[in-house]
Amino acid sequence: MEKYLAAVVQMTSTPDLDTNLQQAYDLASLAVRRGASLVCLPENFAFLGSETDKLNQAAEIAAASEKFLRAAAREWQVTVLGGGYPVPVDAQVPVRAVYNTALLVGPDGKDLGRYRKLHLFDVDLPDGNTYRESDSVRPGELAPVVEAGMLGRIGLSVCYDLRFPELYRALAAQGAEILLVPSAFTAFTGKDHWRVLLQARAIENTCYVLAPAQTGQHYERRQTYGHALIVDPWGTVLADAGDACGVAIAEIDAARVEQVRRQLPVLRHRRL
């Protein structure tokens, strides 16, 4: 891994696929113009609407998302993460369920890694909102760490996975140096948990954590927290996108990972 700039994109996606992809293009293009070699888009970057509409349009969303990611990576000659979009479980039958899929694409437009969200967001929050991701999404499994050349070894996850530290420890045990956490964190939980959980995952695994995010009001019943972050292996927040659409950019440095792992060799001290 060499020194390079990475960007986390913050969006307000809606149920309009074309508008979302244009917003993603504009923000990612901004990140590239500022020198980013790795550009990370959030969960639901292409579509954020009702579960019924998502299922009805899943095949279209999946095809458009993957076409967009590959074309953008080739155009800009950078690595692009599409942080989460619905992919039908079985393309041969009418869509009844999808995988929440994150795709990492290299500068040549070829897939580097694909991850299907493992932990599904089924919760009843104190603010009165209920979420049942498992009604329409099937769980995936741990994905291998991606060997991304000069970008280093990258571990993939999505949003609610952030609350399960064993997933990130498994990625670190595979050699991950960078953990990607594309998200659409709720406004209610984000204000208390988002930043501290991202810092914890960085500190306990001595990895960079890159967390692109959704922000604002997406449709009548969905509001997200924002604050796309880049955190270094010591837990220091290097960049924060705040609560507006935009990008946060920071330098990723292999020497920093090595330095922290020498000072705090927690990965070598594990007993469980």
Point out the residues that are catalytic: 43, 117, 159
Residue by residue, what is the 3-state secondary structure of 23-39?
HHHHHHHHHHHCCEEEE
C-beta separation of 237 from 231 below 8 A = yes
Q: Which residue intervals of 206-270 are DSSP H helices?
A: 254-263, 266-269
What is the C-alpha radius of gyration for the chain, rounded to an integer number of angstroms?
17
How far apart (Å, rounded) are the C-alpha atoms in residues 91 and 164?
30
- 252, 152 contact by CB (below 8 A): yes
Whole-number Å distance between alpha carbons of 116 and 141: 6
Q: Which of 61, 97, 98, 96 is nearest to 82 (CA)?
A: 61
Compute how many other C-beta atoms are within 10 angstroms of the C-beta atom of residue 14. 18
Angstrom distance (rounded) from CA 96 to CA 89:
8
- Alpha-carbon gap, residue 160 to 263, rounded angstroms: 30
